[in-house]
Amino acid sequence: MTMMATECLLELCEQRHELEDYQSGVPRWCTGCGDNAILAAVQRLCRDEGLRPEKTVFVSGIGCSSRFPHYMRTYGFHGIHGRALPVAEGVRLARPDLTVFVNTGDGDCCSIGAAHWIHAIRYNMNMTVFLHDNQIYGLTKMQASPTSPRGTKSNTTPRGSTLEPLQPLSVTLGVQNVSFVAQAVDWIPESLFEIVKAAYHHHGFSFVRIVQRCPEWLPKVWDPWLHDPKRILMLDHPQGIRLSDGLKQVYQNQLAHDPSNLDRAREIASDTNRIPVGILYRNPEVPCYEELRATPGLRTTANLKKGFEAELDKFTFWPQ
Amino acid sequence: MQTAQKTVTTLKQHIVEILSDSGEGAQRCGQSLGAIAARTGNGIWTVEIIPAEIRPPARSIAGASGNRIRIGATRVTNGGDETDLVVAFNEQVLLGRVRAGELKPGCTILLENMWRTHADPKIAAAYAETHARLLEAGYRVLEIPMEQACRALVADPRRGKNMFALGMLCSIYSLDLQLAREQIALTFGKKDAAVVAQNVKLLEAGHEWAEANLDFKYRIPAEPVTAPQVVINGNTAIALGVLASGMEICAMYPITPATSASHYLSDVFEKVGGIVHQAEDEIAACAFAIGASYAGKCTVTITSGPGYSLKQEAIGLAVMGEIPLVVVNVQRGGPSTGQPTKVEQGDLMAAIFGSHGDAPKVVMAPSTIEDCFYSIITARRIAETFNMVVVVLSDASLATSQQPFARPEFSESWVAPPVDQSAIPEGMKPYDWNEATGLARRFIPGQPNGMHTLTGLAHDRASHVAYDPESNEESIHFRSLKLAALQKTLKTPPVFGGDSGDLLVIGWGSTQGAIEEAVATLREEGRKVSSLHLRFLQPLPGGLRQIMQRFAKVMTVEGNWSDRPDDALIDEDNRRYSALALLLRARTLVDVDCYSEVKGQPIKPGTIRRVLLDALKPKAKERAR
């Protein structure tokens, strides 16, 4: 038994990873870009959870945020615009042994990939999804996105955008089978990390909208919230995330919100004056699509042959 | 039993149709007739006649539902020419077929006669008028009291008339009634014995009626079956191919005419641990398949024209990332929504050149039902060997036609290997392209030391985004080189007929049977015509030019558009050639002509025969030279 315990320890030693083990290259995001904060929080999560780099996949679409996988030393899939979610679903269905993360932006998720977003919520496959919402198209150089505030001046809306912005939290909370919805802001690293961690630990489709600053194209859009901590609504609950004393002191506008309360979550999500930060909704009971569809034990060549022959029998004419 | 005086005619082949309103069972009658003939040892080719609407009104021209069966003394490779004999449950469903020119002049029509005395005077008048017109047009119309005869046996003849018709057809084609009884037992076996007995009674009544009242019989000699045969349509064959290939996941979105493959697969796949994922749209289906393939399990997505168009960007991603992927396109009439239930070979160029930039992919086209099955197994293997996208182009004709073929013997070598999780050797890069072949080891998540980010952006060997001129050109070069590597393994296809001659016809896909039938007929008449059929369209096999050079003239026959040379505006400067003709002209610099049609029907062997005869005549211009 002693022998076995030693082996276990060695194993643990070998699998211990440092932050550097998850870092790859120097991010080419702008100075002050919120993506940097998200990357730091996620790399810390990987280290703290001891995620095996070869068993972890970051899937993204196209946009500034979708460069994310390139900066992780894990497996990554930097695909095409809007399609990160269906790619991630395929990965998940094929390989339940892998840990799947998705990085997507407000254009990628809420515009070109909106159909996939709605259905991904419904499939509720076990993955952690970060919506990097900076309310603007960055990589294509400043066009209004579906989440841009009304009146946003951009290259495609030079006299100000005309439509009310889409609210990602409200949309997500409105879809059948929603199982985890949270919101974070890039400028509160402590809470960002706690939220990312809670999302990772949720079994199902964990959707985190991260309010993210774009210093290049919309440098001032979040200033009213950034400079006025009262406009941040901190969600605090024993069933959700407990706020540290430090956070409580800075962000005095707090709400005890039970994340199992969907109706209340929808009300909180519709508050556009303040930014709610924390877990809005969590329901661990929603079944995951990949588990509903699983056919354990049936995938053997012998069984395949048996099934194939049985099907052929249905259509076969034997010699008289 | 009363027996009429019979003339028995021995035939090499005959085409029979059974037509009814939807829900009257003509399909089942036709399928059963085909099965009985196949079990007898006849060659058969059956085609479903499907109304485009779900619930077409009764007695409507567009509502014809049924089955068309070509029965032959030897193997039948295609649906043949016009129909010789029709059983119709009302005169309206018949009209659509008459107007489409599907019935042979003088064709025998066995027509339900209950409508002549129908209570609704409009219906009675319509029947009388159509009947008179059909006679006028020279058809041999026999009015049959099917309804009346069935009423003696069942309360609702709408449910049973089909078996009465089957009995008549067994008498007409001198088929063994015992085989028919067994077929009914097979068909209705899941229901109770009373249902089987009832249907057998109707079958026998139909048989007896025909024996007593019809003055003709046909006999199509058959060779007894010596090895087990399966009878399925092309879509079922594709689904079984997916099963046998060892692929575990099929991602799809409903679309005609591809969907029946996924229907069947949905029913059987789970029993062997497979999953059919119905995605939210065509793009998602393709992206999902790509995700699963990337994660180590080569996946198939099955679609038709419009869906294929939607998948193009994702297909380009799979090409760029070198992710194995099988894409089945069951072609239908296009462009746009086109003719969803009709056959066309219009997607060849889209398959080869689709997706922006240089996106080399393998394109295969099965040409028989059996080929539909084996193509998928081959496609999976090529996809995983070369880390490429393999497009399999089937079509609406193969999708719904049935033809017997030798029962496949399951081979473990067909099955995809388990996901490789061995560690990547130190220093190996995800795109360490082999200088000679362009091949690189596929890195799969879970493999230690293989961590990298696959990207649709231009990248270097390490999968790092690279915009420098050398990296971009190098990666495009190696992705293209893989096609050449595959091409070196392809055999030159055999020539059907003589090795040289006056005319070589080249085809691809579902037209093989019709082309070869036309060529065989002409060769019997002493014409020096041969044909060649391509299964690989990208890459094209080697040796084609050498074969072409042995013929005075080369042309393709295809089911897609080409400009008509006799059109006043059309000349050599603007004539648009058929897809394969254009490809072959570019590839071989041979002056390849073409004949094509887009009628939404399989091209008939008789049509091809006429076209080839015409092509054999020296043209006026050539004579002048």
Question: Which chain A residue has its CA at the smallest distance from B402's CA?
Answer: A315
Distance CA B204, CA B35 (A): 17
Q: What local confidence, expressed as pLDDT, does residue B53 receive?
A: 77
Cβ pair B270:A295 closer than 8 A: yes
> Of A168, A175, A195, nearest to A278 (Cα)?
A195
> Of B436, B447, B416, B425, nearest to B324 (Cα)?
B416
Domain ranges of chain B: 7-219, 231-414, 495-624
Residue B429 neighbours by CB distance under 10 Å: 17
pLDDT digits (tens, 9 = 90+) for A117-133: 999 999 999 999 999 99
Report the top-level CATH class of A19-315.
Answer: alpha beta
Chain A residues within 8 A of B289 when measuring between CB atoms? 90
Which ranges of B258-333 would DSSP assign to H, the alpha helix?
A: 259-268, 282-294, 305-310, 312-321
Strand order in the sheet with B529-534: B495-496, B529-534, B501-508, B551-558, B593-596
Distance CA B307, CA B347 (A): 12
Look up residue A71 and give its two tokens.
């900066």
**In the structure, what pLDDT confidence band is assigned to residue A7 with cuts at 50, 70 and 90?**
low
Q: What local confidence, expressed as pLDDT, does residue B1 receive?
A: 57
Q: What local confidence, expressed as pLDDT, does residue A14 receive?
A: 57
Q: What local confidence, expressed as pLDDT, does residue B624 receive?
A: 46
Look up residue A296 and give its two tokens.
């354990």
Look up residue B84 and give its two tokens.
């010789």
Distance CA A98, CA B290 (A): 16
Name, in order, each residue with C-beta under 8 angstroms of A214's C-beta and a sequence gap of 6 or more: A30, A33, A34, A64, A134, A135, A136, A138, A221
Distance CA B478, CA B432 (A): 10
Rg (CA), chain B: 27
Cβ pair A316:B446 closer than 8 A: no
Mean pLDDT of A140-165: 97
CA of A17 to nearest chain B CA: how many angstroms apart?
Answer: 14
Nearest CB among A87, A95, A303 relative to B290 is that of A87
Q: What local confidence, expressed as pLDDT, does residue A8 receive?
A: 54
Distance CA B354, CA B536 (A): 17
- Ranges of residues in chain B whose predicted pLDDT is under 50: 623-625
Report the top-level CATH class of B495-624.
Answer: alpha beta
Q: What local confidence, expressed as pLDDT, does residue B437 receive?
A: 98
Please name the amino acid found at residue B223: E
Chain B residues within 8 A of A301 when measuring between CB atoms? 246, 412, 415
Asked if the domains B7-219 and B231-414 are classified in one and the same CATH topology, the answer is no
Chain B residues within 8 A of A79 when measuring between CB atoms? 287, 290, 317, 456
Sign of CA dihedral B79, B80, B81, B83: negative
Nearest CB among A55, A93, A116 relative to B249 is that of A93
Q: What local confidence, expressed as pLDDT, does residue B625 receive?
A: 43
Question: Which chain B residue has its CA at the smallest distance from A298's CA?
Answer: B273
Name, in order, each residue with C-beta under 8 angstroms of B418's C-beta and a sequence gap of 6 or more: none
Task: List, in sequence order, every residue forming a beta bridge with B373; answer none if it has no partner.
Answer: none
Residue B572 neighbours by CB distance under 10 Å: 7
Cβ pair B287:A87 closer than 8 A: yes
Cβ pair B231:A317 closer than 8 A: yes
Q: How far is residue B390 CA from its own chain's centroid?
A: 18
CA distances from B21 to A211, B26, B100 (A): 60, 8, 17
Cβ pair A75:B445 closer than 8 A: yes
Q: What local confidence, expressed as pLDDT, does residue A1 receive?
A: 43
What DSSP string describes chain A?
-HHHHHHHHHHHHHH---GGGGB-S---SPTT-HHHHHHHHHHHHHHHHT--GGGEEEEE-SSSGGGGGGGBSSEEEE--TT-HHHHHHHHHHH-TTSEEEEEEEHHIIIIITHHHHHHHHHHT-SEEEEEEE-SEETTTTSEE-TTSPTT---SS-TT---SPPP-HHHHHHTSTT--EEEEEETT-HHHHHHHHHHHHHSSSEEEEEEE--BTTTBTTTTHHHHS-GGGEEEEE-TTS-PPPHHHHHH---EEE--TT-HHHHHHHHT--SSEEEEEEEE-TTSPPHHHHS--TT---HHHHHHHHHHHHHHHEE---
> Of A222, A212, A237, nearest to A103 (Cα)?
A212
**In the structure, what pLDDT confidence band is assigned to residue A296 with cuts at 50, 70 and 90?**
confident
Chain A residues within 8 A of B290 when measuring between CB atoms? 79, 87, 90
Residue with tokens 């924390």, as numbered in its chain: A278
Q: What local confidence, expressed as pLDDT, does residue B620 receive?
A: 57
Which of B453, B460, B464 is best to mutate for the A interface (most A CBs within 10 A)?
A: B453
CA distances from B60 to A189, B63, B162, B616 (A): 70, 5, 19, 43
Residue with tokens 């303040």, as numbered in its chain: A274
Distance CA B19, CA A107 (A): 53
Look up residue A131 and give its two tokens.
């919506």
Nearest CB among B273, B281, B453 relative to A77 is that of B453
Chain A residues within 8 A of B232 when measuring between CB atoms? 315
Which of B451, B452, B457 is best to mutate for the A interface (most A CBs within 10 A)?
A: B451
Nearest CB among A93, A115, A307 relative to B272 is that of A307
Chain A residues within 8 A of B280 when measuring between CB atoms? 86, 115-116, 118-119
Chain B residues within 8 A of A63 when measuring between CB atoms? none
Mean pLDDT of A4-26: 72
CA distances from A65 to A180, B180, B287, B296, B316 (A): 21, 66, 19, 26, 22
Q: Which CATH architecture has domain B7-219?
A: 3-Layer(aba) Sandwich (3.40)
Question: Which chain B residue has its CA at the smallest distance from A51's CA?
Answer: B446
Question: Which chain A residue has its CA at the smallest distance from B228's CA?
Answer: A318
* B59-87 CB burial, b ≥16 within 10 A, e <16: bbbebbbbbbbbbbbeebbbbbbebbbbb
Domain ranges of chain A: 19-315
CA of A318 to nearest chain B CA: how many angstroms apart?
Answer: 4
Complex ipTM tops 0.90: yes
B458 φ, ψ (degrees, to nearest 5) = -55, 140
> Of B235, B585, B274, nearest to B397 (Cα)?
B235
Which of A312, A313, A314, A318 is best to mutate for the B interface (most B CBs within 10 A)?
A: A312
**Which DSSP category does B117 fall into?**
G
Chain A residues within 8 A of B459 when measuring between CB atoms? none
Sign of CA dihedral A68, A73, A74, A79: positive
Q: How far is residue B460 CA from its own chain's centroid?
A: 41
Question: Three-state DSSP class for B367?
Answer: coil
A–B CB contacts, 8 A cutoff, strictly below: 205
**In the structure, what pLDDT confidence band is assigned to residue A5 with cuts at 50, 70 and 90?**
low
> Of B264, B366, B361, nearest to B316 (Cα)?
B361
For the full predicted model, state whether its pTM sits above 0.90.
yes
B12 φ, ψ (degrees, to nearest 5) = -80, -35
Nearest CB among B224, B277, B451 relative to A320 is that of B224
pLDDT digits (tens, 9 = 90+) for B403-417: 999 999 999 999 988
CA of B244 to nearest chain A CA: how many angstroms apart?
Answer: 7
Question: Three-state DSSP class for B496?
Answer: strand
Higher pLDDT, A17 or B530: B530
Cβ pair B456:A80 closer than 8 A: yes
Chain B residues within 8 A of A306 when measuring between CB atoms? 272
Please name the amino acid found at residue B550: R
Report the top-level CATH class of B231-414.
Answer: alpha beta
